[in-house]
Structures are given as structure tokens and as C-alpha cells.
Amino acid sequence: MATCPRGCAPAVRLCQKLNRLKTLDDDMMATSLKRCLSTLDLTLMGVGGMVGSGLYVLTGTVAKDTAGPAVIISFLFAGIASLLAAFCYAEFGARIPKTGSAYMFTYVSVGEIWAFLIGWNVILENMIGGAAVARAWSGYLDSIFNHAIQNYTETHIMQWNVPFLAHYPDLLAAGILVVASFFISFGVQVSSYLNHIFSIVSMGVIVFILVFGFMLAEPANWSQEQGGFAPYGMSGILAGSATCFYAFVGFDVIASSSEEAKNPQKAVPIATAISLVLAATAYILVSTVLTLMVPWHTLDPNSALADAFFRRGYSWAGVVVAVGSICAMNTVLLCNLFSLPRIVYAMAEDGLFFSIFARVNPITKVPINAILVFGILMATMALIFDLEALVQFLSIGTLLAYTFVAASIIVLRFQPDKSSSKGTASTSPNPNAEPSPAPSESQTITEDNEELKQYESFSDKLQLVERQKTGERRGVGQLRAWWEPYLDKLVGDCEPGEVVAFCVMTLIVSSASLCAVLEFGNKQLQLPVWSFTMLVVIFSLAYLLSLALIWVHEPQKNHKTFQVPLVPLTPAASILINVFLMMKLSLLTWIRFTVWIGIGLFVYFGYGIWHSKEGIRELQPKDMAARYVVLPSGSLVETVQSVQPDGQVDPSAHHISASAASTAEECAGKR
């Protein structure tokens, strides 16, 4: 076996640290938080997280400036892409009922550095989401009083004309965030009750908008005289879809709440599906009503729905809509302030973020320090930044998190279950499941979830060798039996799941390359037709071949919790859509994103990598275990090695296994 030169050993150790996976506890339901949320609680949280300023503010902004009445199609595209991502979140939330959302999902399947960067971006996503909604809340309330609050602030307090910042400090938006943080700190049940109240009022107002709005609809507002249905074309529709993603980011609050759900295996998938369908239906129908009530080019971006009723002569209806919008935005604020501290808590609990944020109040069972500190930071953002800049920045963080969660689904689906190789109890998240007993002879022989397995006796392994010769179903992450004669020489020597992980990386790179060519090839790059066509064909083939190569491997079969259908097709489609929508965002958004990533890397290498609990676990004393192992050649080897997290083997074990291998060969020769 080839060895690495001594000079590259530090680099190898660094790569191992950056890509180490999180070790999950045997009891998935154990938590220092309080499990008290039902399916209804999670559903209303999801609806409350999605139906807010996106419905009352973003609808008018996108319709007027980006897509026209075709904002309906923009919301439809964004909803479909979000549905694909929601499937992935639902599987992870049911399978791994721990707080942390996309951060936790990436940590258990891809690696530590990637998990930290995703968590770092999710933190920014929630901070921006809360700040943007607070500014929308303030703008709506100000519109009721004929912008008296804004005029008073600019005249008597201060104003500035700095690019990308608000024209004046929004004291009202900052104040509501501070008050909401105060209520969130009282515990999850208080947050849930408040969310129930505001959600019921908001849904009642939505029903009123739809009924009364369709009565005032004028189809002439979609006519060619008013600019037509899609005045900005397909490009405007797709650009609007990227911005409309802001409307659906709230569903991940359900996954973030899985550690506080009573029965996350059932509640998380059901709540995710119901809340997303309700939100998408509300957005599409309200967009239809809004653009039919008044011409799309005359909409007021700050308070489109309320202003539309005012202009049709129903001022009282405008007040009802304004009150309902404030209640809806309150639910979004509560959801952002609810999920953000829990993601920070999950990162701090793993040692990747400052340990002060891992402290849980013993009475309220909430991460009080994270709630207060990040609530103040969110209020500061709402005080300074403009809504439009915040919304565009929010989209890129959301799309990146969706992309990594989808990739994690593929990796984990074709990755052997390492827990069984350690002889530990099952890590099934089912709260009613009994701990798995020690593997008996029959259980050990029929286990097919990994290539290298531990057995109690010599006869057990000999029986398995004979059964493998009969051509039974291959292990997880290995080639399917039907494809083995054709592809075994090409990928047969790889470890289970290794080819799939490489194909997932190729899938992401080919998706980014294909979308970049489609978006920038004709305009910015001005590629000739032959070059444009050739690049599209090459990257499309790379995408499809990666997808096909993943499909020819054996996936995990898990019928205990919800699983994403049509893997790897569904998550691969989610990756492609998410990457394409990211390409529609502005260059300035990417620059801001790069700066934020740079700050995150500074935090990780300055603190996280040194305090990671996975790193500390690697330094703990290791237990010794004996194994009987079947090599790919079919020879039998007895090894004595150190038991380490994630199946890592102590180097000293190779000397013992070498001598055992020679002994086994001698015995085989005598036979």
C-alpha cells in the first residue's frame, strides 16, 4: 500500500479534522430541552414562519419590479423547489430529531467544516429574516398612520444617505424584536401559544382577502393595455422565483423544533407537508387577487394589499388587512427568534461555537443566552439595513442550505450504518423502540448494511462467506448485483459509499457549471453558439452520469421513519434548481456572502476546530475489540484494533491483522 510522505502528514490530519462526522447518541430522544410540541404546534409554526411579510409585502414588490402578474408563476416555481427541499428536511427531522436543522444534517453526513459553514449561514439567514420582517412590520404600521413615524424620525432624530442602508434608523422595528425576544425567553410553550393566537388571526384575514378580493377582481388588469401577464418575460419570472424563496424559508423551523417535539418521527413530516401546501396555496391565490384588483405597475411595494383596498374605496378593508399583516409578521418574528437560538445552541453544544451559548435555563428549558444576544443583534440589523438588500442576501443563504441538505440526503442514503459495526444499541429515533440486543449468530449473518462486519465466532463468518457466494443482495453503498459484472472492475475496489460521495460532489460541480453557462454564456460571456452548446452538453452529461452512477448502488432500506421518494432523483433536482436560482442573484449579494463566509472561517479556525467535541472524543482512551473480517478477496482475517468514532482504526491494528492474515492463510493451505 502506498504511503504518504512525512511532510504531508499534517495536511492529512487537518483534512481528517475538517471532515470528521458527528457521533450520534444511542438514545435519540434524550435532550436537555423540553419535548412538548404536537403536530398541530409544528404545523402552525411552519405556516406562521412562511406566511408573513412575504405575503403582505414581497408579493407587491416582486409583482411591480420583477415579474408583473406572473408573480403567480414565480411563487409556483419557488414552491416546487421548496417542496423538494422540504422532503429532505422532513426525512432528516424524523430520522435525527435533534435541533440544529441544516447544520445538524450536514454534520452527521458530510463533515464538520461544511456543517459549520452551513450553520454559520443559517444563523445569518434567521437574523436577516427576523430583521427584514421587523422592518416590514414597522412599514405596515407606519402606513396606517400615513408615514407619520418615518417623517418624525427623519425630521427630529436623524437620517442618512448611505448606499445599502436604510434612509433612517427604524427604532420601531428594533423595539419589536427586543420585545419578542423577551417573550421567547419564557419557554417553548409561551412561544407556541403566542404563535397560535397570531396564526389564527392571520389565516382569518387571508380568507377575508380572498373572498372580498375576488369580488373586486377586474380581468382587464392582466390585459395587454396594462402590460400583459408576463411583462418581464421568463427571465423576470425566474428572477422573481429567486426572490420569492424568501416566502418559504420558514418551513425549516419545523426541523429546528424536532428536539422539542413529542413524536418527531410522525409530526415533522406531516407538519412540513401540510404547512408548505397551505403557504404555497395562500401565496398563489393572494397574488392572483392582488394583481386583479389594481394594475400591477401601480402597486405600493411597502403595503400592496392594504393600499389596493384603499384605492378601491374600501378603507375599512385596508385597515383589516393591515392588522392581519401585523399579526402574520408577528408569527414570522416568533419563528425566527425561536429557531435562531436553537441553531446557535446546537453549534455551541458541539463545541464549534462559543460555549456560553450552550447554557440552557433550568426552569424554562431554553438557551437563554443565545436568545438575548442574537435578539439584540437582530434588532441592530433591523435598525440599520434596508429591506430589499436584506431579502436578496437571505435567498442565497437559504438556497445554499437547501443544496447541502439535499446532498446530505444522498450521501446518508447510500452510506453504511456505522452504528451496527460498533456493537452498540440501535440509534433509531423511534421513542418506543427497545435497545437492540447483542447480535446473535443469525442476526449477525443476515446483516448486510456494511462491508466489514464484526462477528462473535469463526463459524459465523464461515457461514456468511458461503451465503455471499450465492449472490444475495449487496450491502449498502455497494454496487447492485445486476450491475456488478459491468462496473465491478471500475468501482469495485472502492469502499461502500465512497463512489456515491464522489458522484455527489460531481453532481454539485456540474450543476453549478451548467447553470453558470445557461445564465451567463450568451450575455456576459458572449460565447459562440458552438461553444455554448458544447459546454451545455458536457455538463449535462456529467450531471446525468453522476446521477446514474449513484442509482446503481444499493440504498438503505428504512421503513421506520419518513424517507424522501425517488432518491437520488428528488434531491438531485433540488440541487439543480437551488443552484440555478443562486445564479440569478446579484454580484453584490455574492460579495456579501463571501465576506460572511470569510468571517465564519476565521471563527471556526480560531475557536471551533480546537473545541470540537468530536475532536475531544478522538483523544479519549480507546477500547480494544477483536473482529473477524472478510476481505474483498474472500480471505478471512482476525484483527485486534482500537474502537474509535466513525469506524476509524488505530494504526497499531495493522501489525496485528497482518500476522493474523498470515495465520489464516496457513490454515487455509492446510485445509
Instruction: Tell me the per-residue pLDDT of 464-483, one tens digit each, with 9 for 90 and over.
Output: 444 444 444 568 888 888 88
Report the C-alpha dihedral over residues 427, 432, 434, 436, rounded to 10 degrees: -30
**Is the confidence at residue 81, as pLDDT, over 90?**
no
Residues 6+ apart with CB under 8 A from 113: 18, 19, 604
Count of CA atoms in the C-beta half-sphere (13 A) of 409: 31
Mean pLDDT of the chain: 79
Q: Among 85-89, 241-245, 479-483, 612-616, which is the least confidently predicted range?
A: 241-245
User: Residue 461 gets which letter from DSSP?
Assistant: H
Q: Where are the beta strands (DSSP E) in 596-669?
A: 623-630, 636-643
**Is the confidence at residue 51, as pLDDT, over 80?**
yes
CA–CA distance, 139 with 302 (Å, rounded to integer): 7
DSSP string across 373-411: HHHHHHHHHHHHB-HHHHHHHHHHHHHHHHHHHHHHHHH
**Is the confidence at residue 461, as pLDDT, over 50?**
no
pLDDT above 90 as % of the chain: 25
Check residue 178 and give its pLDDT.
92
DSSP string across 90-122: HHHHHHS--TTTHHHHHHTTT-HHHHHHHHHHH
**Is the confidence at residue 7, as pLDDT, over 70?**
no
**Is the confidence at residue 242, as pLDDT, over 80?**
no
Helix residue ranges, H only, 385-497: 387-413, 441-446, 458-468, 484-491
Q: Among 409-423, 492-506, 652-666, which is the least confidently predicted range?
A: 652-666
Q: What is the mean pLDDT of the segment spanning 275-292?
A: 92
CA–CA distance, 79 with 57 (Å, rounded to integer): 17
Check residue 602 and give its pLDDT.
95
Is the separation of the CB atoms in 29 and 431 below 8 Å? Answer: yes
Beta partners for residue 643, in sequence order: 623, 649
Enter the C-alpha cell of residue 261: 417535539
Is the separation of the CB atoms in 392 and 585 below 8 Å? Answer: yes
Count of CA atoms in the C-beta half-sphere (13 A) of 39: 13
Q: What is the mean pLDDT of the segment spanning 269-287?
A: 92
Check residue 577 and give its pLDDT.
86
CA–CA distance, 184 with 340 (Å, rounded to integer): 11
Q: What is the mean pLDDT of the segment spanning 505-521?
A: 92
pLDDT band with cut points at 50, 70 and 90 for residue 451:
very low
**Is the confidence at residue 49, as pLDDT, over 80?**
yes
Residues 6+ apart with CB under 8 A from 139: 57, 302, 303, 387
Give the count of beta carbons closer than 10 Å to the beta carbon of residue 654: 12
Enter the C-alpha cell of residue 643: 474502537
**Is the confidence at residue 589, as pLDDT, over 90?**
no
pTM over 0.85: no
**Is the confidence at residue 444, as pLDDT, over 50?**
no
Enter the C-alpha cell of residue 376: 439584540
Q: Of 137, 134, 288, 299, whose CA–CA distance to 213 is shortest?
A: 288
**Is the confidence at residue 2, as pLDDT, over 80?**
no
**Collapsed DSSP state (helix, strand, coil) of residue 527:** coil
Check residue 167 and give its pLDDT.
75
Check residue 289 and give its pLDDT.
92
Enter the C-alpha cell of residue 77: 416555481
Of residues 665 and 338, which shows the higher confidence score?
A: 338
Check residue 152 and give its pLDDT.
81
Check residue 388 and give its pLDDT.
65
Q: How far is CA 552 from CA 52, 256, 495, in A?
A: 43, 33, 15
**Is the confidence at residue 427, as pLDDT, over 50?**
no
Q: Of 549, 584, 547, 585, whose CA–CA distance to 566 is shortest?
A: 547
**Is the confidence at residue 521, as pLDDT, over 70?**
yes
Residues 6+ apart with CB under 8 A from 13: none
Which segment, 9-13, 124-128, 266-270, is predicted with the most confidence on average?
266-270
Q: Of 537, 110, 580, whose CA–CA distance to 529 is shortest?
A: 537
Check residue 671 and give its pLDDT.
46
Report the C-alpha dihedral over residues 474, 498, 544, 548, rounded to 10 degrees: -10
pLDDT band with cut points at 50, 70 and 90 for residue 16:
confident
- Write out pLDDT tens, residues 533-554: 999 999 999 999 999 999 998 8
**Is the confidence at residue 447, as pLDDT, over 50?**
no
Residues 6+ apart with CB under 8 A from 37: 45, 188, 192, 257, 260, 261, 262, 267
Q: What is the mean pLDDT of the segment spanning 228-236?
A: 87
Check residue 57 and give its pLDDT.
73
Enter the C-alpha cell of residue 166: 436604510
- Write out pLDDT tens, residues 118-173: 999 888 878 887 888 888 788 777 877 777 878 888 777 877 777 667 778 888 88
Report the C-alpha dihedral over residues 293, 294, 297, 302, rounded to 10 degrees: -80
Give the count of beta carbons closer than 10 Å to the beta carbon of residue 14: 12
> From its phi and psi, is residue 515 left (phi > 0), alpha (psi between -120 and 50) or beta?
alpha
Is the separation of the CB atoms in 270 and 22 below 8 Å? Answer: no
**Is the confidence at residue 654, as pLDDT, over 50?**
no
Q: What is the mean pLDDT of the segment spanning 385-390?
A: 68
- Write out pLDDT tens, residues 630-642: 444 444 444 445 5
